[in-house]
Amino acid sequence: MPTPPISIPRELLPRDGRFGSGPSLVRPAAVEALASAATGYLGTSHRKAPVKLVVADVRAGLRELYGLPNGYEVALGIGGATLFWDAAVFGLIESRSQHLVCGEFSAKFAAVAANAPHLLDPVVREAPPGSAPTVDDGADDDTLALIHNETSTGVMMPVRRPAGGERLVVVDATSAAGAAPVDPLDFDAYYFSPQKAFASEGGLWLALLSPAAVERISRLREARWAPPTLDLAVAVENAAKDQTYNTPALATLFLLREQIRWMLDNGGLEWTSGRSTRSARHIYAWAERSEYAAPFVTDPALRSTTTVTVDVTDDIPVAEIGGVLRDHGVVDIEGYRKLGRNQLRIATFPSIDPEDVARLTACIDFVVAHR
Ligand SMILES: *Cc1c(COP(=O)(O)O)cnc(C)c1O
């Protein structure tokens, strides 16, 4: 698609043009802190003090950020949230899982469970993109797989443990963690990758684990074999020593630690979620006023505060808007490709300045008015 020759006035442009949903904006101050620490940190052993101290800070920082009760553990490993799905079919799901599916990411975990030969067929509760499914309370699953924010559609669901039942509640929090409140008593595993609200790099998974999850992990390890890199018991044991089973990316850990500190220094999850909510509300209000845009998620209660999806009328291709903006250094606002809609998806993670979000919508209006 040819990009129309539109020049956006400089004073209209966001100061930082990164609005992607992951990898997402990494704060320049965190990169500078890494650069100044680099010679004593990068290229040093992950089994020795500087790196182990960073891992210890990450674990303690997450514990504080989430107010984790006694007995909860913070585990981590290599491979991101995608790997955590593979690990969960060995170490968390006992025989049958139930999955709430409403987009690409929740569907992928359900598919991993469905294809695992040692598990029974999962219960899959599916809702069309833009809406949210409900739990089947009567199902005989031992693990309920929820997603806090379905990044592919911009649907955010409250994390709530259903009453009764012995099931573990396992939550994909990748694009919500660090930016939305949650009560630790409502989950058993709350897992994420750090390249979204935690403004670090990909390649790592982190999981907040309840005592029941830790118990399930150690029991299943006795009951069946798992490849060591997918063995959550191995990850939990290493995490207790502030290590990972194999070598992590040290820069990723450092940037993550910087971001957790920044969140805590400013007031924790209440502050981060307030900032994300402010940005998101601005975009939804703008879309509702707009003649060419509308929020994709029709139920306001389900609208994400971290990944905002907005449909655009078909006569204005978002590829064109996105192309002009990209030429100005404003990037990654096109919707999730597989959803196949003429849609904008704008990340409103805490690192993204709400004022820049306001500038972004002004720029989009400018492009549409001048095409
Ligand atoms: C990004 C994302 C993932 C995948 O994360 P990786 O780090 O690429 O494995 C999984 N779930 C959700 C909700 C995501 O947003």
The pair of structure tokens assigned to 61 is 């920082």
The pair of structure tokens assigned to 342 is 């003429």
The pair of structure tokens assigned to 190 is 């709350």
**pLDDT digit string, tens, across residues 145-204:** 999 999 999 999 999 999 877 899 999 999 999 999 999 999 999 999 999 999 999 999
The pair of structure tokens assigned to 127 is 């809702």
Mean pLDDT of the chain: 97
Q: How far is the CA of 289 from the centre of ligand 1 (A)?
A: 32
Q: Report residue 359's pLDDT band, with 50, 70 and 90 as the boundaries.
A: very high
Q: Which residues pair with 310 in a beta bridge?
A: 295, 344
Q: How far is the CA of 262 from the centre of ligand 1 (A)?
A: 23
Q: Is the CB of 306 under 6 A from ligand 1?
A: no
Output the pTM of the full model.
0.98
- Say if CB 235 and CB 83 are below 8 A apart: no
CA nearest 128: which of 101, 149, 97, 108?
A: 101
pLDDT at 131: 98
pLDDT at 312: 98
pLDDT for residue 3 is more than 90: no
- Quote the DSSP letter at residue 230: G
Task: Tell the residue nearest (CA) to atom 2 of ligand 1.
Answer: 174
What is the average per-residue pLDDT within 130-150? 97
pLDDT for residue 1 is more than 90: no
Residue 47, CA atoms < 13 Å, CB-side half-sphere: 4
What is the average per-residue pLDDT within 274-295? 98
Q: What gap in Å lies between CA 39 and CA 51, rounded to an integer?
A: 13
Q: Is the CB of 105 under 6 A from ligand 1?
A: yes
Q: Using most ligand atoms within 8 A of CB, pick from 106, 174, 332 the residue to mutate for ligand 1.
A: 174
Q: Is the CB of 152 under 6 A from ligand 1?
A: no
* Max CA pair span of the chain: 65
Ligand 1 atom nearest to 83, measured from its CA:
9
Q: Is 20 helix (H, G, I), strand (E, B) or coil?
A: coil
**Over the range 207-245, which residues count as b (16 or more CB within 10 Å of their CB) and which as e?**
bbbbeebbebbeebbeeeebeeebbbbbbbebbeebbbb
Q: How far is the CA of 14 from the centre of ligand 1 (A)?
A: 26
CA nearest 128: which of 147, 109, 153, 151?
A: 153
Other beta carbons less than 10 A from residue 359's beta carbon: 20
pLDDT at 2: 77
Q: Is the CB of 202 under 6 A from ligand 1?
A: yes
CA nearest 248: which of 106, 50, 107, 45?
A: 45
Q: Is the CB of 23 under 6 A from ligand 1?
A: no
Q: Is the CB of 151 under 6 A from ligand 1?
A: yes
CA nearest 257: which of 19, 27, 24, 23?
A: 27
- Say if CB 321 and CB 344 are below 8 A apart: yes
- Say if CB 295 and CB 288 are below 8 A apart: yes
Q: Is 198 helix (H, G, I), strand (E, B) or coil?
A: coil
Q: How far is the CA of 111 from the centre of ligand 1 (A)?
A: 15
Q: How far is the CA of 110 from the centre of ligand 1 (A)?
A: 14
